[in-house]
Amino acid sequence: MTDYFNVTVDDDAICAISSIGLAHLGDAVYELLVRTWLCVHGKATGKGLHRATIALVCAAKQAELSERLLPLLSEAEQDVFRRGRNANVHTVPHSSDLATYRKATALEALFGWLYLRGEKDRINELFAVMMEGQDVT
């Protein structure tokens, strides 16, 4: 049985996944991290928790927070980020513009790529940088 909480996929198989596929997975990884972060930091009420989650996972916030990571990314991580940013997205939410949405997609693709490679420590390191100074309220 495959343990999908602790999966490691080889690089050839990951390369076969589209940037949109990586972003799809990375979106879930990022949202799970945000939800965990909020609960651990005392934001555990239903309505407030949902609103706080939405505020941190929206494209604009993801794009803003991804700026903190760019100087820290390895060459391979930069390549994945670029690939995600250049993905052919077909729809953009009304609450976002194309450039912002592409940057958010890039972040999600990076998190999806790291997750599939089994690099949880690196995900945690990057997420911690993103969340420095964020208010839980």
Q: Which residues are catalytic, by number? A: 27
Q: Which single residue is written with the structure tokens 């077909």?
A: 90
Contact 99, 62 (CB under 8 A): no
Burial of 47 (0-12, 13-18, 19+ CB in 10 A): exposed
Measure the CA–CA gap between 132 and 125, rounded to whole angstroms.
Answer: 11
Contact 81, 89 (CB under 8 A): no
